[in-house]
Structure 1
Amino acid sequence: MRVSPLGTAVVHRGAVGEAGSMYTRLLAGRPDGPLAGAMFLTWERRLGVADPGGPTFPICRSDDGGRTWTEIAAVADVARGAGNRYQPTLLELPSDVAHLRRGDLLLAGNAIPADGAFTCLVLYSSTDGGHTWTFESVIDEGGPSVYDNRSDSTTTAIWEPDLDVVDGALVCCYADERRKPDGMLQTIERRTTTDLRTWSDRELVSGISNRYLRPGMFVGTGEMPDGRRRAVIEIVGPRDVPIHLLESADGRSWGDPADLGRLLVADDGVALSGTPTISWRELPDGRVLLVALGRHSMRDGREGNRALASLDLGETWTSFELPTPATRAIHGDASGYSQTIRWNDAGELVQATSVRNAIGSHDVVVTRATFDVDATDPIPAGDR
């Protein structure tokens, strides 16, 4: 599989001293829905953190396949007044849910004050294509925004919401550090709602009584053409932060929570490392292309800039070079912290990522590329 870049747009230029920009999240309007042809982008933009209300989640829209982008909204934290600071994610509703209709947009993220006193997963909706947003509810609230993955950690934060619709209910899966009394350093939990206001009790999706293995950052595919769902998680603890694949037949049960799924490794030995995402599209010939990304790739202990692709619904994988050149590193403030791929109406691959710039911050860029799924893409000599 081989990608050929067509052009890159710089959506946001990171300023001196700006933290982030991370968690770039693309959404492409469903071809059969009211947002067909439109693409949306959000990320962590932490400028102005000293302002009243804190940072906001930007919403950018493209109506030309990702070539150009316009900011159409900045979603402020009206739930806690602390600032919409971390880990935004977008969903276009595939069907009606509560008072919202198919094609409406949902935005979830982590509202956190400047002093990190708490973590709070919040939900917003838009019924006009992303221009205006309404607060729906607090999904869950956790402890202080402190990251500590040591085996003796006592942190209680919650992180990284992921949204799906299952049997008419909205489902949110997220990372949760509050099961430490059960010997679990971090787990993936799930809550559901049918009215977008009240949420069910927490249910364990993934977690193991081993304080050296920390499953986190669940990102799902939604329902795929075979009726099943796939999801990627990261396993923090091992140095290479491996990415595992989970599967569900119904979107509710993901199997034994202690089963951390299958390690994602390509046929050429390339694996993914950290902050995973996953996406898919049906090709014109009927095949289904599944693509998984990490913060970077690993092969023989070396970092790379590759992703994994599958044409058999995740049974086997092939690696390919990503179209946005960037320096990737397992440690330090590198590029690509939680990036995404989608496809535009022309069938071009569209990658949104962060790239470390010359002043020590990060730009948010979007690259379009052609994607030849039947071509051979050798690993660059420097990555061998």
Structure 2
Amino acid sequence: MRVQSFLIGGFLGLLQVASCSPTPKSLPQPPTRVERTAPTSTFSNNVIFSPPSNAGWTDPRVLYSRVIELSDGSLIATWENYSPEPPLVYYPIYKSLDGGVTWSEVGKVEDQVNGWGMRYQPFLYELPQAIGNYPAGTILVVGNSIPTDLSQTKIDVYASTDGGENWDFVSSIASGGEARPTNGLTPVWEPFFIVYNNQLICYYADQRDSSYGQKLVHQTTSNLLTWSSTVDDVHDTSNYIARPGMPVLTLLPNGNYIYLYEVCGTDGCRLHYRLTSNPLNLINATAYSLVSTAGTRPVSSPFVVWSSVGGANGSIIVSSGSQSNIFVNKNLGASGYWVEYSVPQPRAYSRTLMTFKEDDNLLAIMGAGFLPPSSVNQVSLSVVDLTALGI
């Protein structure tokens, strides 16, 4: 959850059905893989971007970083960028052709429709299949467009068909009110994408329903242009002040999905999760608290991936905002099997995790520092060998 003008959110507003999209360009088919060797050695806390110390950047300078590997083998990354305004804030797009060792800025996701800027909670996603007229390999960024005075929130989608250099507005998913995590306000927060059953699903946190301080919902699209009405995923009917937020999920080898989120308001933003074979029906899935075998209950800003390393069931790997350690479950999410492992990447608010496609023994962990006050935030990346960790 986002505190004060920046802090951890997950919340509600007015549903806006999207339209108004340019015809997408076609990607080269098939995509050409980047000529690089997947990392054979690990590295720790490699700084990708550090804002100038005297150039008017607003605290926290950078935050909420995301990284993915594209189908061509390159990596792209983005984050919340608190650069001086004007011009409007934007999501920088950085690319690496050598597995995360070196990076260069190749593009920017700029607000093309609201005149507010792209301010909070970017999420990167490469389409694994065509959705509507957008081919497999299209890169999407979904994030929260918010004006400088934080008076409104709007979850907008942008697409790139040239590897992240150029971006076009696609659609709006949801609109809400003031961007502050206060019960009774109506923002929307923290989008996350997956494709399921030939649909793109957007999960997010929603404060627009007056019955709840905050709840988790999703909407779907089959064409990226128009979106369904909202469906509740997590809400607490007995506690208005409960604030489930920051939803993320990943597919497991048994066909289940693990859906991970924080619960603020009533549980100190500790992490909870659900397991289900149907990611469109999370409201009926059993909820579990994430507790490690050492008794740790990780807090805030979760992220989750799965790796085939670790045995017949592979390993579910979780990051939180309260520990540098990662939390690993080799039993398909069964309660009581979460083990902590130390990693070199520093603790940060909303770190992201990524396993490499050609070698998912390698785990990338990216962070961009802390919520304000945090005047020294920078974006950095570590790559760790899961086997070497003992997983």
* CA–CA separation in structure 2 for the residues paired with 1:142 and 1:312: 39
Pairwise CA distance, 1:14? 3.3
* 1:365 paired residue number: 380
Percentage of matched positions with identical amino acids: 28
The answer to whether the Cα contact below 8 Å between 2:144 and 2:155 also exists between their aligned partners in 1 is yes
Contact 1:289 1:311 in 2 (8 A): yes
Instruction: Show the 5 A alignment for 1:106-255.
Output: 106-148=140-182, 153-180=183-210, 182=211, 184-209=212-237, 210-221=239-250, 223-238=251-266, 240-255=268-283
Comparing 168-177 and 283-292, the one that deviates more: 283-292
Q: CA deviation at 1:370?
A: 1.9
1:223-276 superposed Cα distances (whole Å, 9 cap, x missing partner) = 33222211111001246421001222122111438x6x1111111112210011
Structure 1 residues 252-263: aligned runs within 5 Å: 252-256=280-284, 261-263=287-289
Q: What TM-score do you get using the length of structure 2 for normalisation? A: 0.82
The CA deviation at 1:19 is: 2.6
Q: In structure 2, what is the Cα distance between the partners aligned to 1:272 and 1:168? A: 34
Separation (CA, whole Å) in 2 of partners of 1:372 and 1:126: 35
Task: Provide closer, same or farther for how the CA distance between residues 355 and 374 of structure 1 changes in structure 2, counting only shifts above 3 A.
Answer: closer
Contact 2:146 2:154 in 1 (8 A): yes
Q: 1:358 to 1:243 in 2, by over 3 A?
A: closer
Matches within 5 A, 1:1-384: 6-16=43-53, 17-20=57-60, 21-29=62-70, 35-48=71-84, 50-52=85-87, 54-148=88-182, 153-180=183-210, 182=211, 184-209=212-237, 210-221=239-250, 223-238=251-266, 240-256=268-284, 261-283=287-309, 287-297=313-323, 305-315=324-334, 316-326=337-347, 336-344=348-356, 345-346=358-359, 347-355=361-369, 360-372=375-387, 375=390
Q: Could you tell me which residue of structure 2 aligns to residue 32 of structure 1?
A: none
Partner SS for 2:368: strand
When the two structures are aligned, how many residues end up with a matched partner? 341
- In 2, Cα distance between equivalents of 1:284 and 1:263: 22
Quote how far apart the aligned CAs of 1:172 are. 0.6
1:302 corresponds to which residue?
Answer: none
**CA, structure 1 residues 270+5, in 2 after alignment: closer, same or farther (shift >3 Å)?**
farther
Matched-pair contact (CA < 8 Å) for 1:8–1:67 = no
Runs of 4+ in structure 1 over 6 Å off:
356-359
**TM-score (ref. length: structure 1):** 0.83
- Asked if the contact 1:5–1:323 (Cα under 8 Å) also holds between the matched residues in 2, the reply is no
Structure 2 letter corresponding to 1:197: L
* Structure 2 Cα separation of the partners of residues 135 and 325 of structure 1: 34
- How many Å separate the matches in 2 of 1:110 and 1:83? 9
Q: Structure 1 residues 42 and 285, CA, compared in 2 at 3 Å: closer, same or farther?
A: same
Residues 186-234 of structure 1, C-alpha deviations (whole Å, 9 max, x = no match): 001111111211111111111112123211111111x332222111110
Q: Any conservation in 1 of the 2:59–2:374 contact (CA below 8 Å)?
A: no
Mark the runs of 5 or more structure 2 residues left unpaired by the alignment. 1-40
Q: Distance in 1 between matches of 2:340 and 2:263?
A: 20
> What's the RMSD between the two structures over aligned residues?
2.3
Deviations 1:334-355 (A, max 9, x none): xx01001212345322110124
Deviates more, 1:277-286 or 1:18-27: 277-286
- Does the Cα contact within 8 Å between 1:341 and 1:351 map onto a contact in 2? yes
Change (3 A) 1:57 1:374: closer
Q: 1:79–1:138: 8 Å Cα contact kept in structure 2?
A: no
Secondary structure, aligned partner of 1:272: coil
Deviation at 1:312, TM superposition (A): 1.6
CA distance in structure 2 between the partners assigned to 1:275 and 1:165 by the alignment: 22
**Any conservation in 1 of the 2:125–2:193 contact (CA below 8 Å)?**
yes
CA 1:127–1:284: 2 relative to 1, 3 Å: farther
**What secondary structure sits across from 1:113 in the alignment?**
coil
- Structure 1's unaligned 5+ residue stretches are 30-34, 298-304, 327-335, 377-384
Change (3 A) 1:10 1:217: same
